[in-house]
Amino acid sequence: MVQLGVNIDHVATVRQARRADEPDPVWAAVQAELGGADGITFHLREDRRHINDRDAFLLKQTVTVKLNMEMSIASSIVRIARRLQPDQCTLVPERREELTTEGGLNVVKFVRRIRTVVRAFHREGIVVSAFIEPTPDQIRASADCGFDAVELWTGGYAHARSESAIKRELDRLQIGIEQGHEYKMEVHAGHGLTYRNVHRVAGLRGFGEFNIGHSIISRAVFVGLSEAVREMKNLLHRHSPRE
């Protein structure tokens, strides 16, 4: 059964728009769990523009499903993650000027530093995933670093407009899934997935986990978060290939 990780960062973004104490991303995690989320995902950014340290530590105390922390490889954040002990750390690239994470981590370029971080997390018993573009060299480098999983960036698919471009991106993802499995890694998917476009990615064989934020939180404004999560889970299950 495919797993849905719900990214709750946007709830904290609304809170920070007023520097207020609502809406609380910790409440959002509860609602997401009630809707059937298999995991709660958050990104503790170096600039703390949405999720802050208080949120991270309260989430650790209250979330009962898989807690997945997205993070850069900056030493200060790695230190916090080692104290926090989430179930999974997903290493992502981070630039201050970006609106959201753009593209994947360049594991090929930073292989030595990343390998050290992966080893540190393994010593703590934390599962480590790399958010990367679905290219053979990034997948190979992730395996070399010892990652347990790769999360393939689905932004290329989400942004593709023509049918031929969409098919090309789906092929890239399918090849990436197979390559990841050959290296004995789990393969996850994330970025830009919506209620309108998720069906074709969900239809690929081999994704174990989907991490989705923007579209679920957007729908939650109108239908509530539990209901929005329930609808996304139904879509994923309806379109997943039969075992």
Residues assigned a catalytic role: 43, 70, 191
Q: How far is the CB of 243 from ligand PXP (least distance, A)?
A: 25
Q: Which is nearer to ligand PXP, 50 or 170 (CB)?
A: 50
Q: How far is the CB of 242 from ligand PXP (least distance, A)?
A: 26
**Nearest partner of 192 among 179, 183, 201, judged by Cα:** 201
Helices (H), the chain: 9-17, 25-34, 53-62, 75-84, 111-123, 136-145, 155-159, 163-182, 198-202, 214-223, 225-239
* Contact indicator for 65, 38 with CB cutoff of 8 Å: yes
In this structure, the number of other CB atoms found within 10 A of the CB of residue 212 comes to 26
Q: Which is nearer to ligand PXP, 105 or 164 (CB)?
A: 105
| CA-to-CA dists, residue 215 to 38, 152, 166, 171, 196, angstroms | 17, 18, 19, 24, 9
Give the tokens for residue 111.
Answer: 């292989």
Q: How far is the CB of 232 from ligand PXP (least distance, A)?
A: 10
Q: How far is the CB of 38 from ligand PXP (least distance, A)?
A: 14
Q: Which residues bind ligand PXP (CB under 6 A)?
A: 7, 9, 43, 70, 90, 92, 100-101, 131, 151, 190-193, 211-215
| CA-to-CA dists, residue 48 to 39, 76, 125, 213, angstroms | 21, 12, 26, 17
Euclidean distance between CA atoms 179 and 140, whole angstroms = 8
Q: Which is nearer to ligand PXP, 142 or 211 (CB)?
A: 211
Q: Which is nearer to ligand PXP, 103 or 206 (CB)?
A: 103
